[in-house]
Structure 1
C-alpha cells in the first residue's frame, strides 16, 4: 500500500471512529491529519488536504481545541496560525475521557441526584422511581470513579492493570 493511500484510509477511519467519541466526522478527520502530520499545519493546509471549506475547518479546529486535543502554535515571522495534535495516545485517551466525563457523565449525575428529591405523587410510583434512578446513580458514580482513576493514572499503572485483565 502506498503512503498516500494509507494516509487517506487512516483519516477516513479516524473520522468515522470520532463519532463514537461524540465528535463529528470532519473533526475526526482533521484530528487524524494533525495526528499523523510531522509538523503543525495551517488552516489552509488542512482545507487543501481534506477538501473542506474554511468555515468547516475553522469551526472543527476550534472544537478540537475546546476538547483539549489540538493546540495552536505560532511560527516566528509568520502571521498564520498553525495547529498540532498531541502524539501521546494514552494522554489523548485521558483527555477524551476527561471531556466526555465533563460533557456526559457529570450532567447525568446531577440530574439523577436532583430527581431523587421527588416527593409528590403516588407513593408506590415514587418509591419505584427513586429505586431505579438511585441504582442508575450508583452505577454512574462507579463508572465515574473508574474513569477518574484512568484519567489520573500513569502509563505503568494503566498497562499493569490492562495486562492483569487480559490474563
Structure 2
C-alpha cells in the first residue's frame, strides 16, 4: 500500500470513527487530513482533497480551531489562510479531554446534581428508584470527572505518563 492510499484510508476511517464520538464526519476527516500533513494546508487544498464544500470546510476549521487542535497561519505576500494541526498526541488528547469535559461532563454533572437535590424522599417505589438512579449516575459522572482530571495531569507528570505507556 502506498503512502497516498494509507492517508486516504486513515482519513476515511477517522471520519467514520468521528461520528461514533459525536463529531461530524467532515470535522474528523479534516482533522485526520491535517494530522497526517507535515505542512500547512489552505482551505482550497482541504476542499480539493476531501471533496467538501467551502462552507463545510470553513465551519469545520473554525470548530477545530476552537478545540485548539489547529493553528491558523498566514504567509507574507499571500492572502490565503493556512492551517496546521497540533501534532503532539498528548496535547491533542489533553485538548480533546478538556473540551469534552467542558461540553459534556460538566453540564451532565450540573443537571444530575440539580435533579438529585430536587428529588423527593418519599417512600414511593418509583421515586426511590429515580433517586437511586440519579445518585448512581451522579457517582459515575464524578468518577469520570476525576478520571479526566487524572488524564489531564498525566501529561504534566512524567512518572504517570510512563506508567500509562507501560500499561499499553
TM-score norm. by structure 2 comes to: 0.89
Shift of 1:161: 3.4
SS where residue 117 of structure 2 aligns?
coil
Decide which of 150, 155, 162 is 1:159's aligned counterpart: 162
CA deviation map 1:88-141 (0-9, x unaligned): 112111111111111111111001100012255954233332222012101110
Cα distance in 2, alignment partners of residues 161 and 65 from structure 1? 28
Q: In the TM superposition, what is the alpha-carbon distance from 1:149 to its structure 2 partner?
A: 1.1
Q: Is the 8 A contact 1:118 1:126 kept in 2?
A: no
How many residues matched? Answer: 165
What CA deviation, in whole Å up to 9, does each residue of 1:2-61 have, x standing for no partner?
A: 222111111111111222332111111111111111211110110111111111111111
**1:68: Cα distance to partner?**
1.6
Q: TM-score, normalised by structure 1?
A: 0.90
Partner of 1:44: 44
Q: Which secondary structure state, in structure 2, belongs to the residue aligned with residue 59 of structure 1?
A: helix
Cα distance in structure 1, aligned partners of 2:23 and 2:31: 10
**Aligned equivalents of 1:65 and 1:112: distance in 2?**
30
Aligned mates of 1:3, 1:127 — CA distance in 2: 58
Cα pair distance change 1:160/1:120, threshold 3 Å: closer
CA distance in 2, matches of 1:162, 1:57: 35
Distance 1:119 1:13 in 2: 44
Once superposed, what is the RMSD of the aligned Cα atoms? Answer: 1.8
Aligned CA distance change for structure 1 residues 127 and 33 (closer, same or farther; 3 Å): same
Closer, same or farther: CA 140–119 of 1 in aligned 2, 3 Å = closer
Most deviating of 138-147 and 150-159: 150-159
- Secondary structure of the residue that 1:108 maps to in structure 2? helix
